[in-house]
Amino acid sequence: MKQYLAKFRTKINLSDWNPNDKTYFESGKEAGKLRLVELNNELMALQDMLYAEHKHKILIVLQGMDSSGKDGTIKHVFRGVNPQGVRIANFKVPTEIELDHDYLWRVHKQVPGKGEIAIFNRSHYEDVLVVRVHELVPRNIWSKRYSQINSFEKLLSDEGTIIIKFFLYIDLNEQKERLQARLDDPNKQWKFRKGDLEERKLWPKYIEAYEDVLAKTSTRNAPWYVIPSNRKWYRNLVIGSILVETLKNINMSYPETEEDLNEIVID
């Protein structure tokens, strides 16, 4: 999975990355879906142990353009996982109360506790993406936030949180097809917003903003992965593989049981 890792302190040019890439798994879509089922089962078992051990904390950040597949990733990669130990936070337009505080205030409240996986569907990175592209605050304000975010994530890491960040990379043509599919399907029209078309016009500015995010905030304690996402099945497979590999490397174990349980007889 290192091929998708955004190298630390390295300039990122997204034109060098292929959103159609599938070199990790060449066996095709159907075989990929079967492999994802295996990964689902592995993830279920690992998450059960994470929850029982109550020691480690996992933060997953999902970012991407409109229709890049953040919801779909959650639906398919985490299928069957015990909802007791998984929490999803979605950071939309800040409320008046949230705007009265610093931009990380609402984020810190959503970070995972021990034994928990927290998934950020969009995240604190909106404050160097949307805020920058739409010029909601001056450059001298948002430009400071890269180092602030790095410090925030280092704090979480130092306190035992394992952070994995995924940028779901699609191209402009793929977004067009997905938006059109939403518009054409009455059951998916609820997902379509006219404002999506205005955001689409800002694609070059978003790409530039994401390149800075990846270059300035991919760190050893909180790495970014650029996930080829034009193929949904491949996106899910790569993310599932990274998560399973990460959890396996923690070397978790179930808590020790009480003594003499073998002598207990339940009447």
* High-pLDDT (> 70) share of the chain, %: 100
As for how many domains the chain has, the answer is 1
pLDDT tens, residue by residue, 169-186: 999 999 999 999 999 999
Q: What is the pLDDT of residue 265?
A: 82
Contact 126, 93 (CB under 8 A): no
Give the confidence band of 261 by pLDDT, cuts at 50, 70, 90. confident
| Range in 12-16, 26-30, 160-164, 224-228 the model is least confident about | 26-30
Q: Is residue 26 included in any domain, yes or no?
A: yes
Helices 29-53, 232-248: crossing angle, 10 deg rounding: 30
Give the confidence band of 139 by pLDDT, cuts at 50, 70, 90. very high
Q: Is residue 260 included in any domain, yes or no?
A: no
Q: Is residue 258 included in any domain, yes or no?
A: no
Q: Is residue 265 included in any domain, yes or no?
A: no
Q: Is residue 263 included in any domain, yes or no?
A: no
Give the confidence band of 27 by pLDDT, cuts at 50, 70, 90. confident
Which residue range is the domain that position 175 belongs to?
Answer: 2-251
Neighbours of 245 (CB within 10 A): 12
* DSSP line for 109-173: TTS--TT-EEEEES-GGGGGTHHHHTT-S-HHHHTTHHHHHHHHHHHHHHTTEEEEEEEEE--HH
Q: Is residue 138 included in any domain, yes or no?
A: yes
Q: What is the pLDDT of residue 248?
A: 96
Contact 175, 66 (CB under 8 A): yes
Q: Is residue 256 included in any domain, yes or no?
A: no
Q: Is residue 201 included in any domain, yes or no?
A: yes
pLDDT at residue 164 above 90?
Answer: yes
Helices 70-77, 232-248: crossing angle, 10 deg rounding: 60
CB neighbours of 84 closer than 8 A, spacing ≥ 6?
A: 51
Q: What is the pLDDT of residue 40?
A: 97
Which CATH number is 220's domain given?
A: 3.40.50.300
Contact 73, 232 (CB under 8 A): no
Q: What is the pLDDT of residue 1?
A: 74
